[in-house]
Amino acid sequence: MEYREIVAVTGIPGLFQLLTTKSDGAVVRSVADKTTKFISARKHNVTPLESIEVYTTGENIRLDAVFGSMLKQEETYPSAEVKTSDNNAIRGYFKQILPEMDEDRVYVSDMKKMLRWYDLLKSNDLLRFEAEVPAEGVAEGETTTEVAAQAETAENPA
């Protein structure tokens, strides 16, 4: 399971791995308890985490960048507990992690959801955001940095 396969489903708490789509819905597996279920397209919307952005005072930031910032700063600013922290503590945590977040458009309920998702992804070792799909012209097992270095060497031989 990879981060790019993870989706949120409206009306159902938690995160899911998208297994397959059908014309009338999707088959998903819960990240938390690994149960598989059919999600009707008439009742629910399925949103990939890759496509979710957080409002900021400038350009919006993708959710994986927020999770990456939370992971990087975890030792300095431990994650706020969703169940025990009050709204001001959660707002304070996000001011430290993402100072440019637009507090008028990002509600505390959204912040709590991001914290729950972060904890769920971390407990399932899904917080790896490197480019997992090889770029065009990149051989399997080769990084895009290696390809860029090879291209630069070919353009500027010594």
Summarised one tens digit per residue, pLDDT across range 89-104 is 999 999 999 999 998 9
Q: Given pLDDT bands bounded at 50, 70 and 90, which one contains residue 83?
A: confident
- The verdict on residue 78 lying in a domain is yes
Residue 38 makes CB contacts below 8 A (sequence gap 6+) with 25, 26, 27
Q: How far is CA 86 from the centre of its chain?
A: 24
pTM: 0.76
Residue 46, pLDDT > 70, answer yes
Q: How far is CA 122 from the centre of its chain?
A: 11
Q: Which CA distances in Å does 27 have to 20, 22, 40, 98, 132? A: 5, 8, 9, 34, 23
Q: Answer with the residue of higher pLDDT: 110 or 1.
A: 110
- The verdict on residue 152 lying in a domain is no
What was the pLDDT predicted at 128?
Answer: 80
- Angle formed at CA 15 by CA 14 and CA 18, multiple of 5 degrees: 145
What was the pLDDT predicted at 77?
Answer: 79
What was the pLDDT predicted at 132?
Answer: 46
Are both 8 and 44 inside the same structural domain?
A: yes
Q: How many residues does the chain have?
A: 158
What was the pLDDT predicted at 158?
Answer: 45
Q: Supply the range of the domain harboring residue 70.
A: 53-123
- Average pLDDT of 35-63? 93
Number of domains in the chain: 2
- Angle formed at CA 121 by CA 124 and CA 17, multiple of 5 degrees: 80
